[in-house]
Amino acid sequence: MRSEKRKGKAVFALLLAGILLLSGCSSPEGGQSGKDSSKQQSFTAFGSGETIRILSGSENRELEDILKECAKETKVNIEISYQGSVDIMRDLEEGAADYDAVWPASSLWISMGDQQHLVKHTESVSNTPVVFGIRKSLAQELGFVGKEVSVKDLLAAIQEGKMSFCMTSATQSNSGASAYIGFLYALLGKQDAITSEDLDNPQLQQDMTRLLSGIERSSGSSEWLMEMFLEGDYDAMVNYECLIISANQSLEKEGKEPLYVVYPYDGLSIADSPLGYVDHGKEKKEKAFLKIQDYLLSESVQNQIQRTGRRTGYGGVKEENKDIFNPDWGIDTDRTLSTITMPSAEVLTQALNLYQSKLRKPSLTAYCLDFSGSMIGEGNEQLVQAMAQVLLQENAEKNFLQAGERDVNLVIAFDDGIIHTYGARDASSASLEELYKAVEEERPGGGTDIYLPAMEALREMKENYDLTQYTPSVILMTDGMSNGSTDIRDFQEFYRREQMDVPVFSIMFGDAQESQLEELAELTNARVFDGREDLIGAFRSVKGYN
């Protein structure tokens, strides 16, 4: 929904339940662009001694300068690999053999993944609440400024068509998961732990479906959600308080209206930052890890972390740092941050599966798949394997990527023209398996034109679907330079004429021309994923964005 549709529309604020999920608090000017995941996978700080390999959530990128000093002071080399929450959980389930420590966004992912009980010495490095950031004028219009707001108040506004918002996927990102669990608690009116029977409540499911229908754009990353918000024209986003602070710093620098933070009173979630040691029986590693942890928890470094907009400890914000937590933005440093009783791991898994398969706003996904001649052999084999991860539901369920009951999936096979356009009859496993078989039977040949299939996908969406009822996206996969009859100017003219707000995500593979894909991402407020080393992983990642 663009701004002209938003008169009287407001946004909603949320909060969340007690799943301790961490902040993704990187400032846009200091972080990565978010448009190319190939530049966001690892970080190394050299300290000349023992090496500690940390599996971390991407939100810790903002602390890289602090970690460089940490390596220097402790004389411990720090190697960080950034992964998503589900991947961190899966790695822990398998024993995390390649890592000495884990630093996910939330304690939740350690408790769910550490089935071998390898993680110890776990300490929270920082914390931040998950909140709703609303354009300040809209917050005033809705009467949210200076007042207590409940989730049910916000649900009523959504049902009246007065607000929409951006949020990360509850099954792929901590902020989305925490928001979703908080919604559940608020709508149930519960203080004690959610049960399996609670999730079966028809009224709860109906209310949650209506609430999630207010989502305008989705994302698989909290940091990229902020960057997308800054590049677009949206009213609100659910995100970490520290990321709202970062967004407001950018907005005010550009002379734009800031966001107003709303903390719904019937559910507040704290995002903690748990750093834990993975015990593989190596005493020297353990001692080196404890040096890093002690450094990060020292008073001076905790103060540096607080300057990033993250809270440290539970004693409030130091007077010297209150300029970061601007009360004009609705930031409330005097608010008591408390959590609710978390449901069991089994109930959490059930809740996430329910979100993915039934409650979330349905996705409308068009896969534009390159079957040019350069894909013959290994390229085509890997493409088919990657599509098996999202279309074959027994694979998709392992990563909370299974199709929802109302999802729509399309496939456009292309070379230097459109080869075939396929659509699943429905979102059933059988229909998606038929779609997969169609992909499996395609044979590569011909040149490459990435713009034709992208335009065809958008045309198909606009002519046949009410896009306000879906989270739409185009996922373009290519292994070479586009050299067909159309170019970026043709796509620009088409996209602007049609006035669509549909992202065109791209996956690089082989000798794909990165600059061409970046142009598409820039124009459509999307992102480029690097599948050159792990095409299957890239497909899984991009699917988490809708």
Cα three-residue angle 189-194-195, rounded to 5 degrees: 130
Return the pLDDT at 327. Answer: 94
- At residue 192, the pLDDT reads 86
Which pLDDT value is given to residue 266?
84
pLDDT per residue, tens digit, the chain (546 aa), is 433 333 333 333 333 333 333 334 644 333 333 344 333 467 888 888 899 999 998 788 889 999 999 999 999 999 999 887 878 888 999 999 999 999 998 898 898 899 999 999 999 999 988 999 999 999 999 999 999 999 888 888 888 888 999 999 998 888 898 899 989 999 999 888 899 999 999 999 999 999 999 999 999 888 889 999 999 999 999 999 999 999 999 999 999 999 999 998 887 788 889 999 999 999 999 999 999 999 999 999 999 999 999 999 866 788 899 999 999 999 998 877 666 667 888 999 999 999 999 999 999 999 999 999 999 998 899 899 989 999 999 999 988 889 999 999 999 999 999 999 999 989 999 999 999 999 999 999 999 999 999 999 999 999 999 999 999 999 999 987 888 899 999 999 999 999 989 999 999 988 888 999 999 999 999 999 998 888 777 887 888 887
**HSE (side-chain half, CA atoms, 13 Å) at 42:** 8
If one counts every other C-beta atom within 10 angstroms of the C-beta of residue 534, the result is: 15
Task: At 103, give phi and psi (nearest 5°).
Answer: -145, 70
At 87 the pLDDT is 83
Relative to beta strand 259-262, strand 363-370 is: unpaired
d(CA 410, CA 445): 21
3-state DSSP assignment of residue 405: coil
Q: Is the dihedral of CA 517, 529, 404, 237 positive or negative?
A: negative
C-alpha distances out from residue 288 to 72, 124, 180, Å: 13, 18, 37
What's phi and psi for 282, nearest 5 deg? -110, 105
Is 88 exposed, middle or buried (CB count within 10 Å of its CB: 0-12, 13-18, 19+)?
Answer: buried
Backbone angles phi, psi at 68, to 5 degrees: -60, -45
What predicted TM-score, i.e. pTM, was given to this entire model? 0.86
Pairing of strands 270-278, 215-219: unpaired
Q: From 211, 205, 229, select the one nearest 219 (Cα to Cα).
A: 229
Q: Which positions ≥6 away from 16 have C-beta within 8 Å?
A: 129, 130, 178, 179, 180, 181, 182, 183, 267, 268, 269
Q: What residues form DSSP beta bridges with 102?
A: 55, 276
What pLDDT score does 342 carry?
74
**CB-neighbour burial class of residue 127 (10 A; exposed 0-12, middle 13-18, buried 19+):** buried
The per-residue pLDDT for 86 is 79
